[in-house]
Copies of this chain bind each other. A is one copy, B any other.
Amino acid sequence: MIGVLGGMGPLATVDFFAKVVAATPAQDDAGHVPLLIHSDPRIPGRPAALLHGGPSPLPALLAARDRLIAAGAQGLVMACNTAHYWHAALREGCALPFPSIVDVACDAALLRFGAGAHIALVATRATLASGLFDSALQSRGLSWVATRQSALDDWVLPAIAMVKAGKTAQAGPMLAQAITQMQSDGANGIILACTEAPMALEQASPAVQALCLDSTQALAQATVALWQQLQNQTHKDVRHV
């Protein structure tokens, strides 16, 4: 069973869950990935903690992690980009495989946009300020196109808040405007590095969609791959007994 740290926000966790099911090559129930999804919207706000000295979400995340492990999780994922600021702390003392959404999204971006691509991020100010994606992009030979403060304030952050309030349709055109500006600022690839963003862009134009790499989708595919790997290991272990 794969444990999912979620609820940041809940709709993004629904989207992640749906993408895991869709990414699984199953013909019936039994072929699907067993998931234990901890969707806890009470986890303290990540941007507030990173930017404004709000309470840290780490104690709640550690408690959720330990709850998932105690309940039998064999691997972990976390369906929130900003929360990956605490990913290293969550991996500490944890023997389970726990792929990072930052790594899998940047791997997918390299594959899709090619080495040397100029990548912009649709992300919270906290994710941008934390530098979470900087070294992951750099180590893959991808360069980072900075997001304009005005694009963040006028379009990206209000759109993310709208998705969290269930106003997904209204958020789409705002994000599309931000993405168009990122493109004219030199980006030839965009990572949707906030799990609220893909839902807002479901109705976006093909031109906008073609530019975007969905970090939720990348994490869903990594989750299916992780489960298959754990299954193969179990089969090997059984053979070697």
A41-B29, A41-B30, A42-B34 given; A10·B1 CB < 8 A: no
Chain B contacts of A67 at CB under 8 A? 36, 71-72
Q: Within the oligomer, what is the number of copies of this chain?
A: 2
Distance in angstroms between the alpha carbons of A21 and B10 in the assembled complex: 7
A11-B21, A34-B7, A39-B37 given; A45·B71 CB < 8 A: no
Interface flag for A164 (CB, 8 Å) = yes
Is the pair A38, B41 in contact by a Cβ cutoff of 8 Å?
Answer: no
Interface flag for A166 (CB, 8 Å) = yes
Binary interface encoding of chain A residues 22-39 relative to chain B, with 1 for a CB under 8 A from any of its CBs, else 0? 101011111111111111
**CB nearest to A11 among chain B residues:** B21
**CB nearest to A66 among chain B residues:** B71
Closest-CB distance, A76 to chain B (whole angstroms): 14
Q: Tell me which residues from 6 to 22 in chain A have a Cβ below 8 Å from any Cβ of chain B.
A: 7-11, 13-14, 17-18, 21-22
**CB nearest to A45 among chain B residues:** B29
A10-B21, A14-B17, A71-B70 given; A1·B32 CB < 8 A: no
